[in-house]
Chain A
């Protein structure tokens, strides 16, 4: 289908482009009336003059870029379209009469899932401005540092007297912007940390850096008249440049992990169909424009756009997004149906009770948001070390002054040595090494599909003592599957093939989710379609029909009790021919292959494992047994609110990691010490997680621990190196050996060792 469309558009080049790559785009079912689902986008009141932005799901390669940017030639509504591969955001300039819905439809036909970004651009503009300022600051400091180094080189190699003072003055002129504008972020954060000191009882590493910068500058000025002493400008400028750049890189990596998840409302469909009481027809409306009491129609496989009450007799929905329960739920007239659930049966009508920001799903999300913001920030090892270092240096300087006085050293010399001490013990290697190590390990993790949203999470991981897993969609596949199918010996001489084709033919006529699962399963065996007569739905569930003069029945076994099977079975179905049972089929949610292994390796790391699920007691116990998780730690039937409360209760004694995918986990993810989201039902839950995995299942969870531990260890060794250099520096300064030349060698040298060490350990 996608191929046909591309071919029609004369775009065979697309395939020549990707010829060598094994690129078979998953042909997502193209809806029969693709337009209707996006029609309401045209009703939205959004400014179009600056371009409309879409977040596009499903971008992977350069061919996607080509295909999407080509759209402006194929779709007459588009003036220009630009895609950013890094963010998957396409900016579309529409023609004056262009419609948003036709752009969305075209993107959808190509196999992508477009999401219109409705939020204002302002937040984005502010971010962009900050980014640009930082980059310019970095550029300026880089340019000045380079020139100061050239001038200093001349001084070290012997320029003195007239030329010496000329170069000295020039480097002062160049250094002033570095000291004022370039190092401004250090002063700001140092001041903020002093201001917050009473609360946090810690100082930022920027305080010793700022201190060293100012002291270094003043010390250089105080020695200005002395032609034999060079200023410290070169080492200080290098310091500012290196730290600024390592922070800039770390920030860009984190931005990249965090973007595009802020403004997306994945739980709402783009269009709701509202009954217009005047014309008695359903009109497309954006879900946020719905009012309480509206009558809306939802088609099969669509997402429910608002909370409401069912008007029709019956409807089958998958509510796993909200409740975590994997089996489809049958709702009856007057029962509540929630926004975000998916309709599995034929179209239904409902009367809305809560819309837009009041829906239950929205409430859960905003609650999670509050929780996520109130999460306590941890005081990193790195900040603690910086704190000790500063106190130690101050103490040593004071002691040294006393000792110098006692041994009878001139006051001038004593002060010079103490100033040198402060400059040279500035923890610059630490300030450079830590962001660098974090950046490298974040990049490494991202390559494997683990996205960290904050860098402090790496350190938090090392403190985690136990993990709770969500069941549906995380440990299991989260879909309704056939677990096993077997025929009974009582079937006698009936061929296997016949049973299969009878089940297939009978169930094909039904819309029930169980029937669909059966059809999908037997389709693989390519059954023949058998003519069936007198098909009827039985009142107790199941279907019966006549096939070639025999009476066949496919019915759920209500007496079915969970005999200790290895999977989480929710339904057993028995097939009868003329009242003889011939086959049984077990349905349920399959446990992922990878879960067992991952849990085993997490246990080996000494972590305690538990399950926290919204699903039934029975299903949870069975999964726990299969995966060897102590039943005492497997909690079932917890609503999203209860999950969060349970985690709160446990967090007193344990550092918890929560791993989950659905909406129903989002509050729990924010409440836990470290929240890990796996891709599943809903991307909206991602924004409250600290880590996001981009592959389903939990096989990446052990890797999170390995990567974090490795990185944390690198940081610790880095701190060790840095302390060693500081020890050398302190000794040298107190003995009076430190000159600006000594500083100019030792400071970059320490930074260089840390740099090489971190890249070697975390690179590859």
Chain B
């Protein structure tokens, strides 16, 4: 059970890492426009078929 002394902080570190990625993506304006990208991806597929 003593491994928990190591594993829980490690899990928290990983959590922190993912939170860092989230904060970065917010700052990188990835959450600014949530409406357009789902449509944009449809259009681009269409173009490749041509």
Map CB proximity to A onto B2-23 as digits: 1 under 8 Å, 0 otherwise: 0011001000100100110011
A128 near B35 (CB under 8 angstroms)? no
B42 near A143 (CB under 8 angstroms)? no
Task: Give the interface SS of chain B, mostly helix, strand, loop or mixed.
Answer: helix
Contact of B50 among A13, A17, A136, A147 (CB under 8 A): A13
B19 near A86 (CB under 8 angstroms)? no
B26 near A66 (CB under 8 angstroms)? no
Point out the residues of chain A lying under 8 angstroms from B1, CB to CB: 163
Contact of A170 among B8, B23, B27 (CB under 8 A): B8
User: How far does the Cβ of A245 sit from chain B's closest Cβ, in whole Å?
Assistant: 14
A139 and B23 in contact, given A85-B36, A86-B34, A166-B5 (Cβ under 8 angstroms): yes
Q: Is A84 close to B, CB under 8 A? A: yes
User: How far does the Cβ of A149 sit from chain B's closest Cβ, in whole Å?
Assistant: 13
**Interface residue count on the B side (C-beta < 8 Å):** 26
A136 and B39 in contact, given A143-B15, A147-B15 (Cβ under 8 angstroms): no
Q: Is A140 close to B, CB under 8 A? A: yes
Point out the residues of chain B lying under 8 angstroms from A132, CB to CB: 26-27, 31
CA distance A13 to B45 in the complex (A): 12
B46 near A86 (CB under 8 angstroms)? no
CA distance A442 to B26 in the complex (A): 26
Contact of A84 among B31, B33, B43 (CB under 8 A): B33
A140 near B43 (CB under 8 angstroms)? no
B23 near A136 (CB under 8 angstroms)? yes
A86 near B33 (CB under 8 angstroms)? yes
User: How far does the Cβ of B19 sit from chain A's closest Cβ, in whole Å?
Assistant: 5
Point out the residues of chain A lying under 8 angstroms from B47, CB to CB: 13
Point out the residues of chain B lying under 8 angstroms from A135, CB to CB: 26, 31
A62 near B19 (CB under 8 angstroms)? no
CA distance A174 to B16 in the complex (A): 11
Point out the residues of chain B lying under 8 angstroms from A383, CB to CB: none
Point out the residues of chain A lying under 8 angstroms from B27, CB to CB: 132, 136
CA distance A273 to B37 in the complex (A): 41
A65 near B40 (CB under 8 angstroms)? yes
Q: Is A83 close to B, CB under 8 A? A: yes
A69 near B19 (CB under 8 angstroms)? no
B19 near A84 (CB under 8 angstroms)? no
Task: Give the interface SS of chain A, mostly helix, strand, loop or mixed.
Answer: helix
CA distance A166 to B1 in the complex (A): 13
CA distance A721 to B50 in the complex (A): 59
Point out the residues of chain B lying under 8 angstroms from A174, CB to CB: 12
CA distance A457 to B19 in the complex (A): 37
Q: List A residues 68-93 near B (Cβ within 8 Å).
A: 69, 83-87
CB-based nearest A residue for B37: A85
B36 near A86 (CB under 8 angstroms)? yes
Q: Interface range on chain A: under 10, 10 to 19, 20 to 34, or 35 or more?
A: 20 to 34
A140 near B26 (CB under 8 angstroms)? no
CB-based nearest A residue for B27: A132
CA distance A573 to B20 in the complex (A): 75
CA distance A66 to B36 in the complex (A): 10
B35 near A84 (CB under 8 angstroms)? yes
User: How far does the Cβ of A418 sit from chain B's closest Cβ, in whole Å?
Assistant: 34
CA distance A135 to B25 in the complex (A): 11
B26 near A136 (CB under 8 angstroms)? yes
User: How far does the Cβ of A588 sit from chain B's closest Cβ, in whole Å?
Assistant: 43
B23 near A83 (CB under 8 angstroms)? no
B46 near A13 (CB under 8 angstroms)? yes
User: How far does the Cβ of B1 sit from chain A's closest Cβ, in whole Å?
Assistant: 8
A85 near B19 (CB under 8 angstroms)? no
CA distance A87 to B35 in the complex (A): 9
User: How far does the Cβ of A406 sit from chain B's closest Cβ, in whole Å?
Assistant: 47
CB-based nearest A residue for B34: A86
Contact of A139 among B12, B19, B39 (CB under 8 A): B19
CA distance A546 to B29 in the complex (A): 71
CA distance A177 to B29 in the complex (A): 24
CB-based nearest B residue for A140: B19
Point out the residues of chain B lying under 8 angstroms from A86, CB to CB: 33-36
User: How far does the Cβ of B7 sit from chain A's closest Cβ, in whole Å?
Assistant: 12
CA distance A396 to B26 in the complex (A): 45
A69 and B43 in contact, given A86-B34, A143-B19, A170-B8 (Cβ under 8 angstroms): yes
Given A84-B33, A136-B23, output 7 extra A-B contacts at Cβ < 8 Å.
A84-B35, A128-B32, A132-B26, A132-B31, A139-B23, A166-B4, A166-B5
Q: Which residues of A contact B (CB under 8 A)?
A: 13, 17, 62, 65-66, 69, 83-87, 128, 132, 135-136, 139-140, 143, 147, 163, 166, 170, 174
For this complex, 23 residue pairs linking A to B, each with C-beta atoms less than 8 Å apart, are A13-B46, A13-B47, A13-B50, A62-B39, A62-B43, A65-B36, A65-B40, A65-B43, A66-B39, A85-B33, A85-B36, A85-B39, A86-B35, A86-B36, A128-B29, A132-B27, A139-B19, A139-B26, A140-B19, A143-B19, A163-B1, A170-B12, A174-B12
The 4 closest A-B pairs by CB, nearest first: A86-B35, A62-B39, A66-B43, A85-B36
